[in-house]
């Protein structure tokens, strides 16, 4: 059955923990980078220390899980898997949130265009960052599309409106309640739908079936 719901292709990224959370679980990030190849993306994540090794998603997941167990989860998954999708590289970070860290985004996006989305159920702070050549163009917490920041916070407003996001700050208690009800469940699918509008790359389950370059994420 076909659907015209623009969020439907991304509901697999929004499964609650009680339903298994999907293959990526309830803490993960995905970044889209245009202007770099996968080797360079891995090298940027590792700060030049690693060019990546070919692996499948299970191999990436196992490395990240081992890192989580060794570090008690406080430093994310410690690894990223990168693959090419058209003009963009897709970087998958299981158990992690580094790709939406402001300082990391600044460094990763130098000389390229980058959009990153994080789902983090435990911190309750799903987020999106969009940057070009080291400048944070726009970002927002996925449940608060009306609270945008960056050099050009309105840059993606057209796409956001197409996806039904309320971009105006609520003015009263009823407005805040309505905004919360509207954004609470749909925040993650809307974030990935927005990423697809900007990049032309829908993050679908099939991408997890592809061979990728896996490397470590350097931590300061």
What does pLDDT average to over the chain?
93
List all residues 6 or more positions away from 31 whose beta carbon is below 8 Å from its beta carbon: 90, 91, 93, 99, 108, 114, 115, 116, 117
Domain assignment present for 11:
no
For 84-109, how does the pLDDT look when each residue is reduced to its tens digit (9 = 90+)?
Answer: 999 999 999 999 999 999 899 999 99
If pLDDT is split at 50, 70 and 90, which confidence band does 20 have?
confident
**C-alpha span between 61 and 33 (Å, rounded):** 21
The pLDDT of residue 124 is 64
CA distance 183 to 171: 16
Residue 7 covered by a domain? no
**C-alpha distance across the termini of the chain, in Å:** 48
Domain range spanning residue 61? 26-216
pLDDT digits (tens, 9 = 90+) for 128-182: 999 999 999 999 999 999 999 999 999 999 999 999 998 888 777 776 677 677 7
Chain centroid to Cα 10, Å, comes to: 12
**63 in any annotated domain:** yes
Number of domains composing the chain: 1
pLDDT at 46: 96
Does residue 40 form part of some domain?
Answer: yes
Residue 58 lies in a domain: yes
What was the pLDDT predicted at 187? 94
The pLDDT, as a whole number, for residue 1 is 47
């Amino acid at each position: 059955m076909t659907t015209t719901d623009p969020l439907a292709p991304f509901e697999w990224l929004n499964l609650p923990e009680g339903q298994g959370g999907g293959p990526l679980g309830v803490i993960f990030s995905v970044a889209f980078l245009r202007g770099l190849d996968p080797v360079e993306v891995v090298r940027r994540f590792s700060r030049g220390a690693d060019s990546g090794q070919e692996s499948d998603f299970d191999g990436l997941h196992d490395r990240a899980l081992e890192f989580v167990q060794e570090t008690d989860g406080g430093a994310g998954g410690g690894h990223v898997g990168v693959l090419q999708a058209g003009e963009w590289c897709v970087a998958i970070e299981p158990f992690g949130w580094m790709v939406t860290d402001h300082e990391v985004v600044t460094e990763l996006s130098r000389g390229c265009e980058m959009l990153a989305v994080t789902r983090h159920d435990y911190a309750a702070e799903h987020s999106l960052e969009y940057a070009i050549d080291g400048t944070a163009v726009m970002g927002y917490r996925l449940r608060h599309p009306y609270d945008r920041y960056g050099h050009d916070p309105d840059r993606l407003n057209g796409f956001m409106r197409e996806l039904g996001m309320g971009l105006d700050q609520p003015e009263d208690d009823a407005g805040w309640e309505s905004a919360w009800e509207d954004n609470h469940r749909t925040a993650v699918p809307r974030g990935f739908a927005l990423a697809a509008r900007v990049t032309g790359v829908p993050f679908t389950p099939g991408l997890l079936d592809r061979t990728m370059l896996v490397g470590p994420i350097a931590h300061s």
